[in-house]
Structure 1
Amino acid sequence: MGTKKPEFPEIAAVDLGSNSFRLQLARVSDGHLIFHDSLREAVRLGAGLDEKNNLDADAQRRAIDCLKRFGERLRGLPSQAVRAVATNTFRVARNAPELMREAQEALGFPIEIIAGREEARMIFVGVSHSLPPATHKRLVIDIGGGSTEFIIGQGLEPIEMESLYMGCVSYSMRYFPDGKLTEAAMDRARIAAAAEIQSIRKHFMAEGWDEAVGSSGTAKALGEIIRLSGLSEGEITREGLEYLRQQLLKAKEIKKIELPGLSADRAAVLPGGLAIMTAAFDALKIERMTAASSALREGVLYELLGRLHDQDVREVTVNSFMRRYHVDADQAERVRQMALILLGQSADQLKQIDEDGAAQYLTWAAKLHEIGISIAHGAYHKHSAYIVENADMPGFSKMEQETLGILVRAHRRSLSKLQGGLPVSPDRLLMILVLRLAVLFHRNRLPDNRPELQLSIVKTGYTLLIEPGWLVDNPLTEAELVNEMEYWKEIGLSLTLSS
């Protein structure tokens, strides 16, 4: 198994937002990013959500058509050089799994659904890289199509992060469904946004900041309109927001809005975005805000660059969890080493994930499988799984946390827990087996009691060849292996032992 990180002259990020889909490409030069090509389409995916949070056929078609075009531009790039993330609409849509399968086929690359706080973290990373270095705290507000992220950070590190369920698309549809711009409707939208922000106001005000920055389409559009109207040099101001409010009331209808620098697709969602920004200014007592040129997609690229240069945020997160939950690091390392040895013996049978990817999951699982002991020893594997599936884990997508949760939950006891949940592919089953065996053979937590093993995959399941005579001297492990064979039989697979 190779450890050298591949070098890619070009990497790409795809941001599947609730309003727009964006593709950003960059060249990698001496460890730095040079942005050189981008695509943006106003898909307005969030506008396709019905009352039951199902995406309608038109919205799905717009998404797939866009991703096919993005896929053509990305054609030829290796999978490790592309990262695609999906945000709020994919998080809330009930039929997102069906769309996801078709979306990944259209794009030609895997797509990750990221949690709101993870979205906020990567937004701050992207914004911070585009601004001059500073030691003071910054407040970043990113109004997206379906959610708005609030982050306070310093340097390149976020300190406080929140994601609220309100966006320029959802608010424009909810409060201006007929396209009419009335004072009552604008007040309702602003008050609703203020109520959402109230839940984070006290905490954010207590943390404090020295500079406010807006990112993504709404902030950039507001700043540009205010600049072209002669009210600032490009900053968003209270005076500018009130001026825009009056202009919208004069227009009376969304289709009649005429403002300098405003595109037709942005006009359709401007009222909702303006209401949210105005509420944020009022609730957080903001007087002036600069508009950043970078946002989520740039953050995704910097994260991808870090992964390619051994600066993976996920590794930092896992090590932090080990310290927080007082994991026995020596035991975790023993389990990791054996799991990777067994994986290497059967990795040629992997179909959907490569050996390095499987090894990464097993490393994380080995380090985190015992974190639940800090809650209770009984059924600790369930506590461990609950933590990794539900905790905020910087750098991890929701799907990565789900896969890690499956491994951790299934590392001991009955395997019947795998039935009725997420689909468990042959690759996942192999990872579960090697993790279970690694834990089983190190139950005594000794460093020098490991036998020589050889794992192979057969039609009906697995065969494990064990060093001759070793089981005679280790009757407890032999009994555990007999139980293990029964556990695999429960799910219709065989585990055969030989020596």
Structure 2
Amino acid sequence: MPNDNAPFDGVEVRDTSKIAALDIGSNSFHLVVARVVAGSVQILHRVKQKVRLAQGLSSDYYLDDEAQKRGLDALNVVAESLQDFPPENVRIVATYTLRKAHNAKAFIRAARDILPYPIEVIGGAEEARLIYLGVAHTNHDDGQRLVVDIGGGSTEFVIGQGFEPKMLRSLQMGCVSYTKIFFKNDELKSKSFDRAITAAQQELEMINKAYLRAGWKTCIGTSGTIRNIIQIAQNESVKDSEGKVTLTQLTRLMKVCCEAGSLDKLQISQMSEDRKPVFAAGLAILIAIFKSLNIDSMVFSPAALREGVLYEMETQFTRPDVRQRSAESVATRYDVDVEQAQRVHSVTMGIYQSCKDDWNIANKELKGLLGWSALLHEVGLQINAHGTQRHSAYILHNIDLPGFNQEQQTLMATLVRYYRKKVRPGDIPDFTLLPSEQVYKLIAILRLGVLLNIKRQDDILPNIEIKVKNNTIRLTFPEGWLENKPIFSADLTNEAQYIQALDLQLRFE
């Protein structure tokens, strides 16, 4: 029998850590808490809150007060499971609705009063990548696979192989948004299904040719919407194939809905009451996907976005590798002058090291984003040498950059937008995770990194002493060096005037 005094006293205790991922979705909020032990992610706890955030998104993309309250109430419930978690062990991602809402920042600020962790609004392609990562780490398949995730406001499509996603797309069709448009007043009519299916197929025209050309061996569906549909379709009809759903089963299920005529008359086993209001819209979208992509059958994977976030948080699946690949891809695509990028990066990082503590920017994430901005600041050169900084900003703001969330992309776009010429603080966006003073200082550091490499040559800069005090940065050159560089001195004089707009002072001697 067990030793009552010291049970398991001889068992070796390994180092473990607890991590948590929260998915602020358009339909539901999902929290997953896991333990990382011996390189393995073990799920400990799940919390799901049905919110239907997208239901409160107006046609002009403003989130109404009622939906915001539902979201904040859900976060209060989630907060109980995150007490005492260190910030580095929690990652919160928000998807379609907060991606689209013009007043998303107001909601995020209110959320920060409940959860003391950063909330990342991620782009559609990044959402698709993380969904695929969750599937890839929990499902083994040989050959290419198509992964589909129907959310409340958008649907993600990924073709990948092994752990590598190859094609990533997010389309604006979701079970909550389609319910508002096509299934008002809880009516289930064949005309409503036809309209919803047609609308989804029109969206799918943007990807169907490319995806069909790429091909796949297996098709996997994720998310609660697809899980619910597959379970019900197999329960309500003769199973065409064990564990899979087919178009025949889906059309049978649509017929059952139309015969009922309305939600209150729809009698289907295995359908929860909270899933019922968006069931018809999800079914219509899935039928359209089967038709447009010629899908024979689909299996379900319980892993999705939140699991992908967890696996990426675990140290052996770190984001820097993803960001490295993203940055290298952009640099190749836009023919970046690699040698100049490396010069600017080296000097910028040197200035950062000298300033980080006094300027309160000693943060690994900020350092990384500043570094990527230095490496990619000239991507806009391929468009036009005139106004390069504006072109660079446009590219970094709008391109798909796996590994970066929307605010991170916006920050990099802002830094490169003002790496030279005049700075207009009024045009600099507000950030939910950063005070404007930190953004200003990062801009100033990148500007100096670029300016000090204006000759685009190696080994021409002397050792420069860099010191900061309050809002003043001082550059001290070797005695007599500046006297022989009148143009360089003039550039520094101009720069001292430019960065005054950022409430900063530049002194040099």
Q: Settle same-fold status: TM greater than 0.5.
A: yes
Tell me the distance in 1 between the aligned counterparts of 2:427 and 2:16.
Answer: 40
| Partner secondary structure for residue 268 of structure 1 | helix
* Partner residue, 2:273: 264
Q: Figure out how many residues of one structure are paired with residues of the other and give that number.
A: 489
| Partner secondary structure for residue 54 of structure 2 | helix
Does 2:62 match 1:51? no
| Partner secondary structure for residue 226 of structure 1 | helix
* Partner residue, 2:186: 179
* Partner residue, 1:357: 365
Does 2:292 match 1:292? no
Does 2:357 match 1:368? no
| Partner secondary structure for residue 207 of structure 2 | helix
Tell me the distance in 1 between the aligned counterparts of 2:446 and 2:62.
Answer: 38
* Partner residue, 1:3: none
Tell me the distance in 2 between the aligned counterparts of 1:490 and 1:61.
Answer: 39
Tell me the distance in 2 between the aligned counterparts of 1:199 and 1:433.
Answer: 41
Residue from 94, 98, 112 that aligns with 2:106 = 98
Tell me the distance in 2 between the aligned counterparts of 1:139 and 1:459.
Answer: 54
Structure 2 contact 359–470 (Cα < 8 Å) conserved: no
Q: Deviations over 1:277-307 (max 9, x none)?
A: 1111122222211011111111122222358
* Partner residue, 2:400: 392
Note the C-alpha offset of 1:495. 1.9
The AA in structure 1 aligned to 2:259 is: K
Note the C-alpha offset of 1:60. 0.4
| Partner secondary structure for residue 199 of structure 1 | coil
* Partner residue, 2:221: 214
Residue from 304, 328, 345 that aligns with 1:319 = 328
Structure 1 contact 372–387 (Cα < 8 Å) conserved: yes
TM-score under structure 2 length normalisation: 0.91
TM-score under structure 1 length normalisation: 0.92
* Partner residue, 1:22: 30
Does 2:283 match 1:274? yes
The AA in structure 1 aligned to 2:326 is: T
Tell me the distance in 2 between the aligned counterparts of 1:310 and 1:139.
Answer: 23
The AA in structure 2 aligned to 1:469 is: G
1:16-415 paired onto structure 2 within 5 Å: 16-134=24-142, 136-229=143-236, 231-232=238-239, 233-305=242-314, 309=318, 311-351=320-360, 354-415=362-423
Deviates more, 1:271-280 or 1:380-389: 380-389
| Partner secondary structure for residue 130 of structure 1 | coil
Tell me the distance in 1 between the aligned counterparts of 2:206 and 2:332.
Answer: 30
| Partner secondary structure for residue 506 of structure 2 | strand
Note the C-alpha offset of 1:308. 6.8
Note the C-alpha offset of 1:404. 0.3
Tell me the distance in 2 between the aligned counterparts of 1:317 and 1:69.
Answer: 36
| Partner secondary structure for residue 349 of structure 1 | coil
Deviates more, 1:236-245 or 1:449-458: 449-458
| Partner secondary structure for residue 117 of structure 2 | coil
Note the C-alpha offset of 1:30. 2.7
Structure 2 contact 312–318 (Cα < 8 Å) conserved: no
| Partner secondary structure for residue 240 of structure 1 | helix
Shift in alpha-carbon separation, 1:350–1:492, aligned structure 2, 3 A: closer
- Ranges in structure 1 where 5+ consecutive residues have no aligned partner: 1-6
Q: Deviations over 1:308-353 (max 9, x none)?
A: 75753112111222223232333222222222222122212344x5
* Partner residue, 1:480: 491
Tell me the distance in 2 between the aligned counterparts of 1:211 and 1:460.
Answer: 58
Tell me the distance in 2 between the aligned counterparts of 1:239 and 1:195.
Answer: 21
Structure 1 contact 20–40 (Cα < 8 Å) conserved: yes
Tell me the distance in 2 between the aligned counterparts of 1:310 and 1:250.
Answer: 49
Structure 2 contact 28–48 (Cα < 8 Å) conserved: yes
| Partner secondary structure for residue 210 of structure 2 | helix
| Partner secondary structure for residue 271 of structure 2 | coil
Tell me the distance in 1 between the aligned counterparts of 2:123 and 2:274.
Answer: 26
Note the C-alpha offset of 1:90. 0.9
Tell me the distance in 2 between the aligned counterparts of 1:415 and 1:466.
Answer: 26
Tell me the distance in 1 between the aligned counterparts of 2:352 and 2:16.
Answer: 27
Shift in alpha-carbon separation, 1:392–1:460, aligned structure 2, 3 A: closer
| Partner secondary structure for residue 447 of structure 1 | coil
Q: Deviations over 1:349-370 (max 9, x none)?
A: 344x543222212210111012
Note the C-alpha offset of 1:409. 1.2
Deviates more, 1:148-157 or 1:303-312: 303-312
Structure 1 contact 84–111 (Cα < 8 Å) conserved: yes
Shift in alpha-carbon separation, 1:234–1:107, aligned structure 2, 3 A: farther
* Partner residue, 2:12: none
Does 2:473 match 1:465? no
Structure 1 contact 8–81 (Cα < 8 Å) conserved: no
| Partner secondary structure for residue 429 of structure 2 | coil
Tell me the distance in 2 between the aligned counterparts of 1:103 and 1:190.
Answer: 36
The AA in structure 1 aligned to 2:227 is: K
Structure 1 contact 303–312 (Cα < 8 Å) conserved: no
Tell me the distance in 2 between the aligned counterparts of 1:210 and 1:238.
Answer: 17
Shift in alpha-carbon separation, 1:367–1:62, aligned structure 2, 3 A: same
Q: Deviations over 1:237-277 (max 9, x none)?
A: 22321232122223322133332221101111100000001
Note the C-alpha offset of 1:491. 4.7
Q: Deviations over 1:38-64 (max 9, x none)?
A: 111111001112333221211101101
Tell me the distance in 1 between the aligned counterparts of 2:354 and 2:292.
Answer: 59
Tell me the distance in 1 between the aligned counterparts of 2:63 and 2:253.
Answer: 32
Deviates more, 1:47-56 or 1:109-118: 47-56
Aligned-residue CA RMSD in angstroms? 2.1
- Ranges in structure 2 where 5+ consecutive residues have no aligned partner: 1-14
Does 2:446 match 1:435? yes
